[in-house]
Structure 1
Amino acid sequence: MPAPKQPTRRSNLATSLTSLTASVAALTGLATLSVAAAPAALAAPHPSTTPSATPPATMSTVGGTRLGTPGTQVNLGSGAPVLPKDLTARSWIVSDAESGEVLAAHNAHWRLPPASTLKMLFADTVLPRFPKTTKHKVVPTDLAGIGSGSSMVGIKENETYTVHDLWLGVFLRSGNDAVHVLSAMNGGVDRTVQDMQAHAEDLQALDTHVVSPDGYDADGQVSSAYDLSLFARSGLQKKDFREYCSTVRAKFPGATTKGKKGKPGRGTFEIQNTNRLLSGDSDVPVYQGIAGVKNGNTTNAGATFTGVAERGGKVLLVTVMKPEKNEHNEVYKETAKLFDWGFKAAGKVTPVGELVAPKSAAQAGAQPGATTSSGSGKGAGTGGSSSKPVASASSGSGSGGVGVALGITGGLLALVAGAVFLINRRWPLPDLVRRRTRP
């Protein structure tokens, strides 16, 4: 994959639960609601290997019928600012990261090549499976099959790396070599692709077809602005995901060399995050309140980006795919404009849809106090846990927000079972990290 163009707030869940308790009688009639009853997906055709230059007339309706309608979707209320006039991206979406409300969208379910933004799904699937202190010695087969021209962090054969090192390589340098090593640890590329696809389906990211875990251009590999936002929202429930995607720069292990006295030694070199809203560039300043998430750039996909930012107590997600305007860092410029609009428009627009909760949340809702796992296969490691409990609840490994919300309510859910869906729709983002520079 060509190298990228170098280019929490905590929800007031206690208040919500108090309100729910007071409304038990009114909510009992909602018992039939569940995440599985969220707006159903329109059956999507098999992904095209060469996406059209125009959006299809019929797209998925996951999250609401408006999101399956081509063109820009927005409901401006009194005092709401108009959308930026000079947006050229084929697809974009602005949503509230916690409530899941979609403030505005443009071709949100258009299935397009995702480039390295697909690494968000890779991380959300694989990151919980290995403690960050796990060490792995790289063998030649770990690096087999990496696409020509891929972005690399510089992993060497026969060197040993920690899982922590590898994830820094994935998030900061978008290293396909780091992705392949982690995939090898997970049972191989094919197994990892299967796991990612299964996790995408659980998240109801039904526009996504995974072919390569690193996002490298491949026939039939597609996702959508809507799905990428689902991946980011799910990943942000995990402490380590939040840490890695917000890190600006870090030290990465180099190759082992002989020192002055003939003894082997190993130095480090600095890597910097290629997310320009996080690290800045000559024509793009660091965005106020930015906290991640992931950028991408390939020949077929063009530039893609999903970002999360907080301002004034509001946490927004913005995904932008393939700006047509051919200017340096254009994907970041259009993302910043949408963030600016979203923070001004919050509370002044009627949502046009929502980011749905995972299917597994409905299953967890049937068992009060249960937690959900955000992956399949191996058990979750330390990477899946939230950094701090929300509202003094004990946080489980794996899905984070949904599990925490359910853990807080405990026996209360037995009394207000009809409200489970309403609780699960709001995912808190505990300790949403800001820009971070690692020593």
Structure 2
Amino acid sequence: MNRFAPNGGRLTAAVATAALAVPLWAAVAPDPAVAHPLGAAATTSWRVTPCPKAAGPRVSAPTRPSPPAADPVHRAVGGDLLATSGLAVPPAATPPPGVSATSWLVADLDTGAVLGACGAHEYATPASVQKLLLAATMISKLDPKRVVTITREDVDIEPGSSSVGLVEGGRYSVETLWLGLLLASGNDAANTLARLGGGTAEAGVREMNALAARLGAYQTHAVTPSGLDAPGQFTSAYDLALIMRACVAEPLFQKYALTRYTQMPDQGKHHKGFQIQNQNLLIDNYPGVLGGKTGYTDLARHTYVGAAERHGRRLVVSVLGAEYVPLRGWEQGAALLDWGFAQPADASVGRLVDSGATAANPSAAAQAADTPGTGTNALADGGTGTPPLLAFGAAVAAAGLVLSAAARRRRGSRVRRH
């Protein structure tokens, strides 16, 4: 049984035929009788082409783990034009920029329209952008003013991986832990927040997977709360856009994600406080930024998710499997955002499915938070609209996928964050 597929992976012939993935080199000759989410025009003019690529260095990376078998239903979530490993853009769109990422997606946060994508539903390794799923899962559950004590398990992370420098036995506010997670990509902060939200870190990961299923992020499966590499851990560019949309709907997330720096508190005379800075350089280099997250491991390569607003329009971008040259991960995200903002407001090759949640009801933690906070900056409005849902996406969402694989925290190898 395919644990990533609804109904145990059993598909009707009609659904399987309509959602089959198209090879990278193939040109599409759509059947006019098959309904497409973009209407009749898309069935006659849309074709699959290779994704534009930027020249980059040859990198000798470890062998990536084998992903789950491709599920044709999941590959078509949000629209069957997204069920391809190649480029999906509207027929009249300007060419997107060449990037080194193996997959990416640009979508409108408010309407849910996917403006373009490369391998939207291709399985990939998340690295630290998985911390966005942790934030979406736990930020509404935890009182930011609560002060907690750090355990040995919290700081048991892979040597050399990113840490915010939590001290065993030290006491920190939950707000400080969120800042350590989103600014410094602290894996120790990730372990702590997963434990606080779930009772144990392992239970926290199970809650992360349950939320991914509710959001419609059916290709996402977390094994570690931090994104440290582990067998069976995957995501997709499409799923990350759904997860980022859930994050941006939380005012507390935007407060933390747009913080440029903060001070980690003293923990006794042997552990003096220190300053940490935000690693997401988009916040200093892209007007209208709403937040984001960087990531890197040997297996995942560079990953990036970000969002920005321009002239009242809010877009999200997700980038997976990128190399650092000729553009860094956040710079590739910025180039794709620029491309997205240049497209017409009605441009679309699909939709981000709607989980039914509404940003009009922020979490109780957000409502109770002290808005100024510690070391934070002024933030953009954190609300987001509820996008429309394609009929096909609704059928998939109604399938009610439940990810039931046990989530044991395993540590990756040779992992470093930037």
TM-score by length of 2: 0.69
- Any conservation in 2 of the 1:171–1:244 contact (CA below 8 Å)? yes
What residue in structure 2 maps to residue 60 of structure 1? 75
For residue 365 of structure 2, the aligned residue among 375, 382, 387 is: 382
Partner of 1:352: 349
Moved more, 173-182 or 266-275: 266-275
Aligned residues with identical type, % of pairs:
36
Q: How far is 1:185 from its partner?
A: 1.8
- 1:205 is aligned to 2:217: yes
Q: Distance in 1 between matches of 2:118 and 2:269?
A: 52
Q: Letter of the 2:202 partner, please give it.
A: D
Deviation of residue 126 (structure 1)? 0.9
Cα separation, partners in 2 of 1:208 and 1:175, compared to 1, 3 Å: same
Q: How far apart in 2 are the matches of 1:237 and 1:384? A: 13
1:169 pairs, out of 170, 174, 180, with 180
Q: 1:257 aligns with which of 269, 274, 277?
A: 269
Deviation at 1:224, TM superposition (A): 0.5
For residues 168 and 177 of structure 1, what CA distance do their matches in structure 2 show?
Answer: 12
Partner Cα separation in structure 2 for residue 172 and residue 104 of structure 1 = 29
Check conservation: 2:109, 2:316, Cα contact below 8 A.
Answer: yes
Q: Is the 8 A contact 2:195 2:203 kept in 1?
A: no
Q: Which residue of 1 aligns with 2:336?
A: 338
- Give the total of aligned pairs: 319
Query: Does 1:178 find its partner at 2:200?
Result: no
Contact 1:292 1:307 in 2 (8 A): yes
Equivalent of residue 111 in structure 2, options 99, 111, 126: 99
Instruction: Provide the residue aligned with 1:244 in structure 2.
Output: 256
SS of aligned partner of 2:226 = coil
C-alpha distance in structure 2 between counterparts of 1:383 and 1:140, whole Å = 29
Q: List alignment gaps of at least 5 residues for structure 1.
A: 1-38, 259-265, 280-285, 365-369, 374-379, 389-398, 406-420, 422-439
Amino acid at match of 1:208: T
**What displacement does 1:297 show?**
0.5
Which has the higher mean CA deviation after the structures are superposed, 333-342 or 91-100?
Answer: 333-342
Is the 1:385–1:400 contact (alpha carbons within 8 Å) kept by the matching residues of 2?
no
Equivalent in the alignment of 2:27: none
| Contact 1:75-1:350 within 8 A present in 2 as well | yes
The Cα of 1:57 is off from its aligned counterpart by: 9.8
1:231 is paired with a residue whose SS is helix
The corresponding residue for 1:156 is: 167
C-alpha separation in 2, matches of 1:320 and 1:245? 18
Deviation at 1:169, TM superposition (A): 0.2
Specify which structure has the higher proportion of helix: 1
CA shift in 2, pair 1:354/1:167, >3 Å: same
- Superposed displacement of residue 386, structure 1: 10
Go from structure 1 to structure 2 and tell me whether the alpha carbon gap of 1:42 and 1:268 turns closer, same or farther (over 3 Å shift): farther
Alpha carbons 1:238, 1:386 under 8 Å: kept? no
Say if 2:229 and 2:297, in contact at 8 Å, map to a contact too: yes
Q: How far apart in 2 are the matches of 1:218 and 1:95? A: 29
CA distance in 1, matches of 2:341, 2:117: 15
Q: Distance between the aligned counterparts of 1:334 and 1:89, measured in 2?
A: 8
1:311 CA drift (Å): 1.1
User: Shift of the alpha carbon at 1:82?
Assistant: 2.4
Q: Distance in 2 between matches of 1:151 and 1:350?
A: 39
Residue deviations 1:41-65, cap 9 Å, x none? 9799xxx96248xx96956111011
Q: Look up the match of 1:142.
A: 154
**Which consecutive aligned stretches of 4+ in structure 1 deviate over 2 angstroms post-superposition?**
39-44, 55-59, 141-144, 370-373, 383-388, 399-402
- Change in Cα spacing, 1:296 to 1:89, as seen in structure 2 (3 Å) is same
Amino acid at match of 1:294: K
Match of 1:269 among 265, 270, 274: 274
Give the secondary structure class of the aligned counterpart of 2:335: helix
Equivalent residue letter for 2:352:
L
